Structure 1
Amino acid sequence: MLVKLLPRSAVVSAAKRDVHSGLVAANSKENSVLKLSTVEFVSKLLDRRWALRIPDAQIHQVMVCGSGRFKQQGSEVLEFRNNSGPSLGDSMAARNLGQPVFYVVRDDLLHPLVNGNKARKLDALLPLLEDNSVTDVVTCGGCQSAHAAAVAVSCAERGLKTHLLLRGEQPEILTGYTLISTLYGNINYVARSLYARRDEILSRHANMIAGSHGSVQWLSDLLEPAAFVYHVPPKQIVSQLDDSSNTMNKKVMIINEGAGDAAALLGVIRLVQYLSQDHLFGKVQGVKMIVDAGTGTTAVGLGLGALCLGLPWEVHAVMLADSVEGYRKKEQSLISEFRKMCESPEIDLRLNGAKYEVVHWVERNRPRKFGNVLKGEVEECQRIAQQTGILVDPIYTLAAWELAAQLSQEQGASAGVVALLHTGGTLGIFGLAQRYKPHFQNLKAH
């Protein structure tokens, strides 16, 4: 038998290849185990009582019609068509070949008065309040705060009293979120100079409500790892509520502006888990998820959900209220709090691999601030509503809509799916119409 001897260099190369192949296989196996264990932990994390009975959301498909493009005031304007019953699933990207489309997750339809992203943030938070026999809730926000209105409505539905500190002066005519907050909660207007020290005024107001026999807690103090990860058995919850009804002492909970706490991330992660089902967006195809960013909490929740569930998703958040550095700092803070509450080695490893960055923060195409609502932007919201039946507002969701339309044109079907999370905000239009009358007085049909 003839034996062919290989040069030493070839033997060494072959050995290196074998070692490399073994390492790749080992790493692949380790990653698979890591992914499985992380998904299992997330499932345990989400096994709790929720404010929303089911996490479902309607999904619409918006077609960007190239033939309907025209020029207006030097910028390109697109026409849109809405399909409210699209075919979804893992092959949806391939079916869209040649047609720019994006999908709209209609969280604006979750509740008639509560913004979609606010409902998601409160999804895990509200049961925590009930579990801990809270009687009163104190929070703060701007004069037209969607967060304050959401807390007032949601707490009133559960028999809890809310005390809302709103920045600025009381409007001459109550409308939009201010009207809803006033109808459902107890309002105090705070001078802008004092509102800068919001933690101090929240604490002082909460202690006044609690009185000498009551107690005050911040929501962040409540979030011990055991309470964060494990749900309270229903029988224990009923017992706690019965006990609280037999005492006159108040238990007051302070919630940060915008519900920017780790507990608010859980409801958003629950939404990601729902959307990643095989008959919806699935777990295989790439998804670019677009969202408008106020505090940035919703965007971070989306990014964490995708990371922990091992999804090939990218979260793009259009910034409104801060710089990239400010939003990145908020992202790091929320992730650190989430990591501390979870105490999960698997999630720690994933977050370290992502370098604590789970969101692509995006500058707005054009400045859009509360003091500079342009008439053209209001008209664009009107045009989208008339073409699709979907109402976006000129402050938040219009910017996210524009980015979704842009990305749907730039990428082919092979690049995956573009999806917009419609967070709501439409009640804010009433407040804008009151404050910026000239931009709303002469709207004409398109």
Structure 2
Amino acid sequence: MKLDSLPRFHLAEFPTPIQYLDGLTKKCKGPAIYMKRDDLTSLGMGGNKTRKLEFLIGEALYQEKNTLVTAGGIQSNHCRLTAAAASKAGLECHLVLNGTEPEIPNGNLLLDKIFGAKIHFCDRKNRDKRFFQVEDELALAGKKPYLIPVGGSNGIGSVGYVNAMLELDTQLNDMDVTPDAIVFASSSGGTQAGLALGAKISGFKGDILGISIDQIKSGSDPFPPVLTSIANATAERIGSDIRMTDSDFSLNCDYLGAGYAMPGDLEFNAIRDLSLHEGVLLGPVYTARAMGGLIDLIQKGYFTKDQKVLFWHTGGTPELFAWADQLQKKFR
């Protein structure tokens, strides 16, 4: 493999720590719960996108681009970290955000502005069109734009999570811990594709279980083929002969609730449990939904008391401030 020879731009300190969640384990009366703390990556208040951006920005600089363009929701963690990474790399950053510009920005949107990103607001249905319009406008203005897909989820960005899985393998060996499952939030697919491919490479035998935040498993728009496509593009990029199929991905779609970025009791209860029992903060859109799903699965007996589960905290805590009204009611 050629992991070490790919273009990469240093953005954070690795490895991120693994912690045993003693309080949550006791409360759930279930398996031993560990947490991989990718919310503690040092860039821009942390999160999993940092791992992807190291390789995406490395490629942008290799291609001699000077401007990053990406897209997402108005509270996008990916966009916040792209803006932070652009600042560190000396690149201009343009964000195409679906939503209406608020009078007073908060959460990730406020951080986007602090990091100096230029923001283009649009309707969700027009986001893809506006994304490429911004690219054209920048090129006409003499810039050299580099497009980063939503979530940084492609064969370049997902290399970061192959690397993360190899990092985890070393840590688990040092700790003499073998999880039966790794559980995490899955949305645009890059994290899950990289972890699943990394598991094949490292020989990890446990379940790589994504809790879907907004995608469906089957029906008119099935998601596993997207994961397969990203994983195989990643394998090609790193020079691995492994090829994945749809059946290689474990995706639970039972916790979609009211929809994307619409947290409810499941998410708010998970935020409460982790804050009160572990002093750890979750983001209401991604990690709280995934943790809420994990806690529910434990309560339903999906995991037994003698098992070990590792929850991969992918970040998102700045989103909390955008849901201050709901959180205030929940935590009175």
* CA–CA separation in structure 2 for the residues paired with 1:341 and 1:372: 36
Kindly indicate whether the alpha-carbon contact (under 8 Å) linking 1:102 and 1:404 is maintained by their aligned counterparts in 2. no
Matches within 5 A, 1:131-170: 131-170=62-101
Matches within 5 A, 1:51-70: 51-52=10-11, 54-63=13-22
Q: Deviations over 1:21-55 (max 9, x none)?
A: xxxxxxxxxxxxxxxxxxxx2xx324444424643
Residues 65 and 149 (structure 1), Cα distance of their counterparts in 2 relative to 1, 3 Å cut: closer
User: 1:372 Cα shift?
Assistant: 4.3
Aligned position for 2:119: 187
Q: Structure 2: which 5+ residue stretches go unaligned?
A: none
Kindly indicate whether the alpha-carbon contact (under 8 Å) linking 1:296 and 1:330 is maintained by their aligned counterparts in 2. yes
* CA–CA separation in structure 2 for the residues paired with 1:101 and 1:167: 40
Aligned position for 2:329: 442
Kindly indicate whether the alpha-carbon contact (under 8 Å) linking 2:287 and 2:313 is maintained by their aligned counterparts in 1. yes
Residues 402 and 441 (structure 1), Cα distance of their counterparts in 2 relative to 1, 3 Å cut: closer
Residues 443 and 321 (structure 1), Cα distance of their counterparts in 2 relative to 1, 3 Å cut: closer
TM-score by length of 1: 0.66
User: 1:331 Cα shift?
Assistant: 0.9
Matches within 5 A, 1:336-347: 336-342=232-238, 344=240, 346-347=241-242
Q: Deviations over 1:344-369 (max 9, x none)?
A: 4x324xx3xxx343321012347253
User: 1:341 Cα shift?
Assistant: 3.4
Matches within 5 A, 1:203-282: 203-211=132-140, 214=142, 250-277=143-170, 278-280=173-175
Aligned position for 1:402: 292
Identity of aligned residues (%): 23
Kindly indicate whether the alpha-carbon contact (under 8 Å) linking 1:320 and 1:368 is maintained by their aligned counterparts in 2. no
Residues 54 and 191 (structure 1), Cα distance of their counterparts in 2 relative to 1, 3 Å cut: closer
Deviates more, 1:266-275 or 1:286-295: 286-295
* CA–CA separation in structure 2 for the residues paired with 1:66 and 1:287: 15
Kindly indicate whether the alpha-carbon contact (under 8 Å) linking 1:378 and 1:394 is maintained by their aligned counterparts in 2. yes
Aligned position for 1:125: 56
Amino acid corresponding to residue 90 of structure 2 in structure 1: G
Amino acid corresponding to residue 279 of structure 1 in structure 2: D
Matches within 5 A, 1:296-311: 296-311=189-204
Amino acid corresponding to residue 21 of structure 2 in structure 1: V
Residues 312 and 294 (structure 1), Cα distance of their counterparts in 2 relative to 1, 3 Å cut: same
Q: Structure 1: which 5+ residue stretches go unaligned?
A: 1-40, 69-77, 80-98, 215-249
Aligned position for 1:234: none
Kindly indicate whether the alpha-carbon contact (under 8 Å) linking 2:11 and 2:85 is maintained by their aligned counterparts in 1. no
* Residue in structure 1 matching 2:272, options 364, 370, 382: 382
Residues 396 and 380 (structure 1), Cα distance of their counterparts in 2 relative to 1, 3 Å cut: same
Aligned position for 2:322: 431
Matched, 1:362 2:252: yes
Structure with larger Rg: 1
User: 1:114 Cα shift?
Assistant: 4.6
* CA–CA separation in structure 1 for the residues paired with 2:36 and 2:131: 34
Kindly indicate whether the alpha-carbon contact (under 8 Å) linking 1:149 and 1:178 is maintained by their aligned counterparts in 2. yes
Matched, 1:328 2:231: no
Residues 362 and 59 (structure 1), Cα distance of their counterparts in 2 relative to 1, 3 Å cut: same
Kindly indicate whether the alpha-carbon contact (under 8 Å) linking 2:208 and 2:250 is maintained by their aligned counterparts in 1. yes
Q: Deviations over 1:98-148 (max 9, x none)?
A: x73210001101136354211111121222222222111111111111111
Amino acid corresponding to residue 211 of structure 1 in structure 2: L
User: 1:64 Cα shift?
Assistant: 5.7
Deviates more, 1:256-265 or 1:122-131: 122-131
Matched, 1:201 2:125: no
Deviates more, 1:152-161 or 1:118-127: 118-127
Aligned residues: 322
